[in-house]
Structure formats: C-alpha cells, structure tokens
C-alpha cells in the first residue's frame, strides 16, 4: 500500500488524499515525524476539504508526544473547521476530564453527542461521568438511562446500568451522612464555676 500511495504522490504531489493515507499509515506505524511532515504538507493545500481531520491527526501526534497544550489547540482548529466533527470534541473532552476540568469536559462530551454523533456511546458515557464529578447526579442518571435504552443489548447497556448502581450507592451514602450529621448535634457540657 505504501508503494502505491508513494507512486500516486510522485505522479500528483498535490494529491492530499494520498498524503492523508500515507501519513495515517506512518502514524499507525509509530513514525510520528514522517506522519507530521505529510500532515503539514496537507495543511498547505488551501482547497482540501478534510483539513479538520488533518488537525485531528496532528493533535493525536502531539498527545502521543505528551504535548496536551498543543493538542488542544489543534483540536480547537479541527472543530473550528468542522463544528460537527465528533472525534475532536470527544478528544477535547477526554483531555479536560483527565485534567479535572469537568465542566468544560461535560460541554465537549455534549457536543460530541449531538447530531449524527448521537449513535456513539463513549461521549455520552463520559458526559455522565463528568456530571457525577460535578455532583449533578440526577442529570447523570438521566444520561445513563438514555444510554441503556439507546444501546440495549450491547456492553454499553450493562456499563450504564453498573454506573447507575454505583451512583445510587453514592446517593445513599451522602444521604445517610447528612442524616447522621443532623442526628448528632453535639451538646457540650461546661463545668459550673
């Protein structure tokens, strides 16, 4: 495949689709520098319609290198070019979730679940996890219940169901803690002087 794609690029150096293919092969082979070089050449093609994928793939390389800041910038470019590109929103959400920025992560996961992306379970699941981290338990449970309906008879149904059970344990523990706090109003006895 690499030989044929390379020949296609030799015949037509402006063939950005061929460059995208060879760069993706390099990326999967772990040849990040070679992949980046091809992606950067694609960015120079001002009429190429899939630049949002180019930015996404460059962000993937930066994440592999441990450069989250640059990755976030490239992912933002990706969604600026195509505001319906779910994978970029999802990856932005994952980075923010891992950094503990649950409010922004929730927003990105919601974007990654919109439009044609509603059939993808991962953003919805992580949106529920973000809601749990934000102590928005009712909303999280609603998302998980919707997942159980939409992804019935898949692993995501049982994953959502397990998360609901965990959520109910959290709720019952918090309710018993607050009930215990109300019951145990301490009375301090001071000696008479």
Using pLDDT thresholds of 50, 70 and 90, give the confidence band for residue 173: confident
Instruction: For Cα atoms 133, 134, 135, give the angle at the middle one, nearest 5 degrees.
Output: 90
Q: CA 161 to CA 141: how far, in whole Å?
A: 10
Res. 193: pLDDT tops 50: no
* Non-local CB neighbours of 99 within 8 Å, separated by 6+ positions: 68
List, for residues 44-99, the tens digit of each pLDDT value.
999 999 999 999 999 999 999 999 999 999 999 999 999 999 999 999 999 999 99
Using pLDDT thresholds of 50, 70 and 90, give the confidence band for residue 107: very high
List, for residues 111-153, the tens digit of each pLDDT value.
999 988 888 999 999 999 999 999 999 999 999 999 999 999 9
């Amino acid at each position: 495949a690499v030989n044929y794609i390379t020949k296609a690029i030799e015949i037509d150096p402006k063939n950005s689709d061929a460059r995208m293919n060879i760069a993706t092969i390099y990326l999967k082979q772990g040849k990040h520098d070679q992949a980046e070089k091809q992606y950067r050449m694609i960015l120079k093609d001002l009429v190429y319609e899939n630049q949002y994928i180019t930015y996404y793939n460059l962000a993937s390389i930066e994440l592999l290198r441990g450069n989250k800041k640059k990755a976030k910038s490239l992912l933002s470019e990706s969604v600026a070019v195509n505001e319906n590109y779910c994978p970029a929103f999802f990856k932005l959400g994952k980075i923010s979730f891992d950094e503990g920025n649950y409010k922004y992560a929730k927003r990105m996961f919601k974007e990654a679940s919109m439009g044609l992306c509603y059939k993808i379970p991962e953003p919805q699941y992580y949106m529920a996890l973000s809601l749990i981290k934000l102590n928005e338990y009712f909303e999280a449970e609603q998302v998980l219940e919707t997942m159980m309906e939409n992804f019935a008879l898949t692993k995501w149904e049982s994953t959502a169901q397990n998360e609901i059970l965990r959520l109910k344990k959290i709720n019952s523990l918090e309710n018993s803690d607050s009930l215990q706090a109300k019951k145990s109003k301490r009375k301090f006895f001071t000696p008479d002087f």
